[in-house]
Amino acid sequence: MTVRTSDIEKAAGVLRAGGLVALPTETVYGLGADAENAAAVARIFQVKGRPPAHPLIVHIGAAEQLDEWVEDVPEAARLLAERFWPGPLTLVLRRGRRVPLEATGGLETVAVRVPDHPVALALLSAFGGGVTAPSANRFGSVSPTTAGHVGAELGEAVDFVLDGGPCEVGVESTIVDVTGDVPSILRPGGVTREDLEAVLGRPVAVPAASRVRVPGQHPSHYAPRARVVLVEPERVVAEAELAQEFGHQVGVFLPPSVADTPVKAHAVVAVPTSMGAYARGLYGFLRELDQRGCDLIVASLPAEEGLGLAIANRLRRAAGPRSSSATGLQEP
């Protein structure tokens, strides 16, 4: 996928004029605006249908620029930025004066990251400022991992779309709050907990989803149209077939452990063995099953280590409260 220099210049011009640019990052596509233009930032919320209290991430071009956007950078934040930027890590720090409250949902903290994608970095460099960008999807739905997904989600509402090909990581960045005594993962993502702990040399807290009180983290996030039901891996085939018999159009996330089992269902996705490939494909799989007309998706959770932690987090949110049986959901 090639993006011309003239496209980058044009996109930077759109940002300068207060417009919205969809941009590829290594995680998911973002819907970007000039972080310092409160009116442009407000348009992001309008286009996404996102409640204004939900804070955004400010994307910057290099770790060296961090101090321009935040106050009080603790040692742990420096270490993490040095090791993981550019990359799928977002740091929550105290808001610098340059960041309007519109971008932080009124919070005195701000989330910042340096994305690891040549097109995003070229845009940030040409633009010169910070770009606030949430994932380029409508509020609550599945994040886009191709430019085509962005078009399907937001269409004409975006002023310019940079097509940088499919996203390499496929799930959003890991968000780490470094404002407290102990760094804490607010959202698991592309950088694993194990990698964070290795760099910091100490445990990193992962608050249980139910205890996270961060604005913008809702149980119904990342949801396809189809209802998602999570069961144990060895129950996936039986539950899927039962639900299909009850009249559902069932999509199946077939776990690697039962990959050879034939399934009578409407559509089947073979879950990749590699967690990297699973993360890369996850949102595309959910979209595909929606497109194929499934009204119910039966899946199981991967082991919650490495990238599996982020994948399980997204599946749980896509599913809402965990259900032990698909057959409790009989109305098609």
> Given the rule CB under 6 A, which residues bind ligand TXA?
25, 27-28, 30, 54-57, 88, 90, 92, 104, 107, 109-111, 115, 133-135, 172-173, 175, 186, 214, 216-217
Compute the C-alpha angle 312/318/320, nearest 5°: 95
E strand spans, 65-169: 70-71, 89-95, 109-113, 131-132, 160-161
Q: Select from ligand TXA, Mg ion, none the partner in contact with residue 315, using the beta carbon and a kind-dependent cut-off of 5 to 8 Å.
A: none
129, 130, 123: which is closest to 162 by C-alpha? Answer: 123
Is the CB of 135 or the CB of 300 nearer to ligand TXA?
135
If residue 59 lies in a helix (H) or strand (E), which one and from where to where?
strand 57-59
Q: Are residues 157 and 139 in contact, defined by beta-carbon separation less than 8 angstroms?
A: no
Beta carbons within 8 Å of 39's beta carbon, 6+ residues apart: 18
Alpha-carbon distance values, 291 to 71, 175, 276 (Å): 45, 30, 24
- Name the minimum Å distance from CB 143 to Mg ion: 5
Binding partner at 98 among ligand TXA, Mg ion, none, C-beta below 5 to 8 Å by kind? none
Query: CB of residue 53 vs ligand TXA: minimum separation in angstroms?
Result: 10
Both tokens assigned to 214: 């961060």
- Give min distance, CB of 72 to Mg ion, in A: 27
Q: Using CB distances below 5 to 8 A depending on partner kind, what does residue 153 bind out of ligand TXA, Mg ion, none?
A: none
Pattern 112-141, Mg ion, x by CB under 5 A: -----------------------x------
Residue 184's nearest CA partner among 197, 173, 169 is: 197
- Pick between residue 159 and residue 241 the one whose CB is nearest to ligand TXA: 159
Q: How far is the CB of 297 from Mg ion (least distance, A)?
A: 19
Q: Which is nearer to Mg ion, 90 or 135 (CB)?
A: 135
CB of 32 to ligand TXA, least distance (A): 8
Whichever of 168 and 241 has its CB closer to ligand TXA, that residue is 168
CB of 73 to Mg ion, least distance (A): 25
Structure tokens at 67: 């101090």
110 touches which of Mg ion, ligand TXA, none (CB within 5 to 8 A by kind)?
Answer: ligand TXA
The DSSP element (H or E) to which 187 belongs, if any, is strand 184-187
Which of Mg ion, ligand TXA, none binds 77 (CB below 5-8 Å, type-dependent)?
none
Nearest to Mg ion of 37, 90 (CB atom):
90
DSSP conformation letters of 280-307: HHHHHHHHHHHHTT-SEEEE-PPPSSTT
Binding partner of residue 92 among Mg ion, ligand TXA, none, CB under 5 to 8 Å per kind?
A: ligand TXA
Residue 141's binding partner out of ligand TXA, Mg ion, none, with CB under 5 to 8 Å set by partner kind: none
Compute the distance between CA of residue 37 and CA of residue 47 in angstroms, rounded to an integer. 16
Q: How far apart are CA 75 and CA 84, in angstroms?
A: 14
- Tell whether residue 25 is a contact of Mg ion (CB under 5 A): no
CA distances from 145 to 96, 142, 172, 234 (A): 30, 9, 10, 29
> For residues 199 and 214, which CB has a smaller minimum distance to ligand TXA in the complex?
214
